Structure formats: C-alpha cells, structure tokens
C-alpha cells in the first residue's frame, strides 16, 4: 500500500530576484514497509521535501497524499494535519526540537500519552527504546545536560515511540559515530519490517545508502526518477 505520494511538487522560496527554486516538480512514492533513502548534496532540496511531507512547509504547488488522504493539492486541503502528524507520523529533524523543560524520558513518553497510551505502558515503551539506543542511563537528565549525539538519539526514540505509519528522518545519523549510526539504521529497518512503516531517510552521505530498498537521487531540486 502506498503511504506517501508526492506528485509534481514545487517549492519556490522568496520572490523576484531573491527567488530560490528549491523543489521542481518532484515525484516520490513510498509503500508500507519500505525503507527509502533520499540522497543529494547540500542545498538540493532534501529538507524542503521532508518538511513539506510533514506539512510544516507550504509547497508552491503540486500534490501530497498521506495514507490515502490528500493533504495538499495546490494548497492545503483542510484536513487536520496536527492530528495526522500526532497519530501517524514520526519525524527526526536536523535540529532535534526536544522540549527543554522535560527530561529525556518525558520527551519520549509525551507523544504516547498524547495518543492515549497509559502512563505505565508509555514509560516501559520509552525506556525500552532508550535502552536500545544506549541512553537509558540519561533518562532523568534534561536535553541541555546531554551531548549532541545523545540528543539525536532521544529524538530518534521519540520519533519511533508511537510506531508511526510514516517516519521521516533528516540526516538521522549525522551526529553519531559509525557504530551508533548502524544501530539507528537497524532500528529504522526493524520499524519498517515489523510495523509496515514507510520510512524516508535523508542523507548527503553516499556511504549511508546500503541496506535501503530504494534510493531517490535529488540534485538542484529535481528528483531523478
């Protein structure tokens, strides 16, 4: 089943002389259970595509369908994207966007309790992920008290906690060493295989692409299909 469908998506930032064509008629399709890489150099439009798919960046025109529901069709279609994001999406951004006044554990638990998972269940699921990512010993610390690589792993645990149907990850291993990068990629693969999630991983690192079901190449805002 097709979970992510992007058709002829264009994004132009700014206007007039200051105009940047970030995305030009991009097409992309990700099936349930698929692990897809989006590979391209810095400035090629990768983050723009990802933030458009998770509905926090407004495309100029084109179409986005998520889990069979049109969310953008030359304009937002009016569906509740916040609910959709909370229930179906996990996102890992380059800035980790952890909530500074919640502990590591609370940051991961929050998305679960927002989705009506009981406190007990939320805590055990969150701890399990933190253990897997080797940061469980930091559970009571605040984001500012842990390293960049540790913050990245908390963001990853948070994105996976709700077993999302769509997982979007922007350079999720950038701040990690090779070994930990492999653990994270293993987790993403496991998520897609075991829960049928559609996973899109953005990277500019060619060495990252082994193990993906499919690789999309992007350059100057164009996806080579």
The binding site for ligand ADP (CB under 6 A) comprises 13-14, 20, 22, 40, 42-48
- Nearest-angstrom CA–CA distance, 17 and 175: 35
Residue 55's SS3 state is coil
CB of 224 to ligand ADP, least distance (A): 14
Place of tokens 């540790």: 150
CB of 218 to ligand ADP, least distance (A): 7
Which CB atom, from 36 or from 130, has the smaller least distance to ligand ADP? 36
Binding mask 28-57 for Mg ion (x = CB under 5 A): -------------------x----------
Which CB atom, from 66 or from 168, has the smaller least distance to Mg ion? 168
Which CB atom, from 4 or from 133, has the smaller least distance to ligand ADP? 4
CB of 149 to Mg ion, least distance (A): 18
Which CB atom, from 33 or from 43, has the smaller least distance to ligand ADP? 43
CB of 41 to Mg ion, least distance (A): 10
Which CB atom, from 93 or from 212, has the smaller least distance to ligand ADP? 93
Which string of b and e fits 172-187 if b means at least 16 CB within 10 Å?
A: bbbbbeeebbeebbeb
* Contacts with 121 (C-beta within 8 Å, 6 or more apart), sequence order: 112
Size of site (CB under 5 A) for Mg ion: 1
**CA 44, chain centre distance (Å):** 17
User: How many of the other CB atoms lie within 10 Å of CB of 14?
Assistant: 9
**What's the Rg (C-alpha) of the chain?**
17
Burial of 85 (0-12, 13-18, 19+ CB in 10 A): middle
Burial of 19 (0-12, 13-18, 19+ CB in 10 A): exposed
From the list ligand ADP, Mg ion, none, which binds 42 (C-beta under 5 to 8 Å, kind-based)? ligand ADP
- Please give the backbone phi and psi of residue 11, each rounded to the nearest 5 degrees, phi first: -135, 120
From the list Mg ion, ligand ADP, none, which binds 43 (C-beta under 5 to 8 Å, kind-based)? ligand ADP
Which CB atom, from 87 or from 94, has the smaller least distance to ligand ADP? 94
CB of 89 to ligand ADP, least distance (A): 18
Q: Which residues in this chain contact Mg ion in the complex, by CB under 5 A? A: 47
């Amino acid at each position: 089943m097709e979970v992510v469908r992007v058709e002829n998506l264009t994004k132009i930032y700014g206007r007039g002389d200051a105009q940047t064509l970030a995305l030009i008629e991009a097409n992309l399709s990700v099936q349930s259970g698929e692990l897809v890489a989006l590979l391209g150099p810095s400035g090629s439009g990768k983050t723009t595509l990802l933030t458009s798919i998770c509905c926090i960046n407004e495309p100029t025109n084109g179409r986005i369908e998520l889990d069979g529901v049109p969310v953008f069709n030359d304009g937002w279609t009016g569906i509740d994207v916040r609910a959709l994001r909370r229930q179906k999406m996990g996102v890992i951004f380059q800035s980790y966007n952890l909530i500074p006044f919640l502990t590591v554990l609370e940051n991961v638990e929050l998305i679960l309790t927002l989705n009506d998972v009981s406190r007990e269940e939320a805590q055990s699921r969150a701890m399990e992920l933190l253990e897997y990512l080797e940061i469980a010993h930091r559970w009571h610390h605040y984001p500012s008290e842990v390293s960049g690589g540790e913050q990245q792993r908390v963001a990853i645990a948070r994105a996976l906690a709700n077993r999302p149907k769509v997982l979007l990850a922007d350079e999720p291993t950038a701040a990690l060493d090779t070994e930990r990068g492999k653990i994270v990629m293993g987790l993403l693969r496991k998520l897609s295989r075991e829960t049928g999630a559609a996973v899109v991983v953005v990277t500019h690192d060619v060495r990252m692409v082994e193990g993906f079901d499919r690789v999309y190449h992007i350059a100057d805002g164009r996806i080579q299909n």
